[in-house]
Structure 1
Amino acid sequence: MLTVSIWIASSFMGLALLLNLYRLLRGPDIPDRIVALDTAYVNALSLLVLFGIQQGSRAYFEIALLMGMVGFVGTAMLAKYLLRGDIIE
């Protein structure tokens, strides 16, 4: 039952990732593309966590945690660049 649930959740997350990548490529303006990139990052993290559950390994959860922190900092930097035009003051 858990295996079927993981496959269903992975397929939905993969579909959501494809839709986010479509918005990333075809977004009408830069803020929409930044939001799509952040959402795609979260979907990729969820796929990594689902794969970790399927494999039964804790290493994937630690990698997902590190990727989440890097993704947050990256999104914050892109938003700051969008607002001010400069990252480092």
Structure 2
Amino acid sequence: MSLVNYLQYVILPILSISVILVFIRFVKGPRITDRVVALDQLITIAIAIITAYAMMSKQHAFLDVAIIMALIGFLGTVAFAYYLEKKEKNE
């Protein structure tokens, strides 16, 4: 089994199922912190999907997109954490 077949038949279906499950948690999350964690996890899964596609198509430009998404996802998570901390102090 080659790497491309492994990515197509094993990794991408697992990532697709995980996107569905995390999206359900994002929608149903009873608290805002659950939704923030689910959003961060969705970004992480999207980075994994982009990386798998870059490996399958042998186009390394997609890896730059994955790095930029990782940076934006990290900064977004930090911003949400800062917002939630300030919100708790005001209450």
TM-score using structure 1 length: 0.91
Q: Work out the CA distance in 2 between the residues paired with 1:55 and 1:36.
A: 28
Query: C-alpha distance in 1, partners of 2:47/2:68?
Result: 10
Pairwise CA RMSD: 0.8
Alignment of 1:72-87 (within 5 A): 72-85=74-87
Structure 2 portions without partners, runs of 5+: none
Equivalent residues, number? 85
What is the aligned-residue identity percentage? 27
Cross-structure match for 1:31: 33
State the distance in 1 between where 2:65 and 2:80 align: 22
The residue number in structure 2 matching 1:53 is 55
Question: Displacement, 1:28?
Answer: 1.3
- Structure of larger gyration radius: 2
Unaligned segments of structure 1, at least 5 residues: none
CA distance in 1, matches of 2:4, 2:64: 22
1:42 aligns with 2:39: no
The CA distance in 2 between the partners of 1:48 and 1:14, in whole Å, is 12
For normalisation by structure 2, the TM-score amounts to: 0.89
The answer to whether the aligner puts 1:3 opposite 2:4 as a matched pair is: yes
Equivalent residue letter for 2:57: Q
